[in-house]
Amino acid sequence: MRRLSGRALSLIASVVLTVFGLLVVTFFIGRVMPVDPLLAVVGDRAPEHVRAQAATELGLDLPLWRQFLRYLGEILQGDFGNSVLSGQPVLTDIARFFPATLELATAATLIGVCLGVPLGVLAATRHGQWPDQVIRVVALAGYSVPVFWLGLVGLLVFYAELGWVAGPGRIDVVYEYTIEPVIGLMLVDTLLAGDGAAFLDAFWHLVLPASVLGYLSLAYITRMTRSLMLAELGQEYVIAARVKGLPERLVIWRHVLGNIMVPLITTIALSYAYLLEGAVLTETVFAWPGLGLYITQSLFSADLTAVLGATIVIGLVFIGLNLLSDLLYTLVDPRAR
């Protein structure tokens, strides 16, 4: 119990320090950005006395350390400020936009995991052969091709020319006001509403942006899986298992893959986190009403309150996913237990 208590306290202290560091970095980045925080509040033609009054109300006339303490106190109370663009609390906006990003990133991660892990295993077991070369080229292309270009080409080919998928947006305007949002995930909400046509429409709207993001996830997971597998395939236990006559599929998929599961979980968790915060360009290209599009519109409108609030939420998501991956270690690796 003392050991577990010590580990729990260490974990809590680490999380608190990480969150504090996140708030410090976020606050000071917001203050050094070449954007006038008063621009979105009073406009660029407001007289000086109006700007001074707004600065006083927002606390911008205080010393920087007092501004940070005020900012920290508001965040700890769950007050992320009000968005100038929407006129609503930032947390309300995030709760409205984040489910769309969560749905898109989850679908993309599923594509990346379901295809990336088998491709990485295949490349490692066929090291130096033509399957390995082809998979490496595919993964390298996923790293190299700009995501906005890939999204535009996908829209041109698969939507405009072939008509295989739906266009920009999350759902057709015909169904947009007939589906009552329950949890914010369009596929789930359409199923709960019992509207099969709306579900199919939402699904075909999701296919192309999820595939574009999934390709990025696939490239990262494939390369990491291949590297981890190659490091394990040269270990003595693999040779011993083969000498004992174990089937190759058991050696690869049970023993070797089982031993790389801990770093692989970290890889997948980080990939998922990057998709949650890195879908800005994809959401912009596909007019996907998610957190990335919200941040982009807020930044263009000089709405720093909304930008900083969304940045903090994304940072908390990173921390949460890292904690989740640490907990999953104990399930897949007896040494962690």
Point out the least confidently predicted range of 17-26, 50-59, 74-83, 221-230: 50-59
Stretch 150-178: mean pLDDT, rounded?
Answer: 84
pLDDT at 164 over 90: no
- Claim to verify: residue 65 and residue 137 sit in the same structural domain: no
Beta bridge mates, 82: 89
Q: Which of 76, 108, 124 is the last residue of a domain?
A: 76
Q: What is the pLDDT of residue 76?
A: 80
Task: Tell whether 153 and 185 lie within a shared domain.
Answer: yes
Beta bridge partners, 89, equal: 82
Q: Does any domain span residue 337? A: no
What pLDDT was estimated at residue 87? 74
> Between 3 and 165, whose confidence is greater?
165
Same domain, 280 and 164: yes
146 — phi, psi (to 5°)?
-60, 135
Residue 177 and residue 69 in one domain: no
Model pLDDT for residues 200-243, shown as the tens digit of each residue: 988 998 999 999 999 988 999 999 999 999 988 888 888 888 88
Quick one: pLDDT band at residue 182, thresholds 50, 70, 90?
Answer: confident
Same domain, 70 and 146: no
Tokens in use for 52?
Answer: 């001074």
| pTM of structure | 0.83
Are 12 and 155 within one domain?
Answer: no
Q: Do 55 and 110 sit in the same domain of this protein?
A: no
Q: How many CB atoms lie under 10 A from the CB of residue 261?
A: 15
Greatest mean pLDDT range, 7-11, 39-43, 133-137: 133-137
pLDDT bracket for residue 269 (50, 70, 90): confident
- Indicate whether 87 belongs to any domain: no
Q: Do 61 and 209 share a domain, yes or no?
A: no
Give the domain range for residue 26.
Answer: 2-76
Please say if the pLDDT value at position 337 is more than 70: no
* The predicted structure's pLDDT at residue 59: 64
Tell me, yes or no, whether 254 and 296 share the same domain.
Answer: yes
Is residue 128 included in any domain, yes or no?
A: yes
82 domain residue, yes or no = no
Q: Last residue of some domain: 27, 44, 76?
A: 76
CATH number of the domain enclosing 274: 1.10.3720.10
Count: domains in the chain? 2
182 found inside a domain:
yes
* 85 falls within a domain: no
What would you measure as the largest C-alpha separation in the chain, in angstroms?
Answer: 84
Q: Are residues 130 and 68 in the same domain?
A: no
Same domain for 71 and 206, yes or no, is no
Q: Are residues 72 and 143 in the same domain?
A: no
pLDDT value at 278 more than 70: no
Euclidean distance between CA atoms 310 and 313, whole angstroms: 5
- Kindly state whether residue 63 falls inside one of the protein's structural domains: yes
Q: What is the mean pLDDT of the chain?
A: 82
Task: Answer yes or no: is pLDDT of 41 > 70.
Answer: no
Q: Is 88 among the domain residues?
A: no
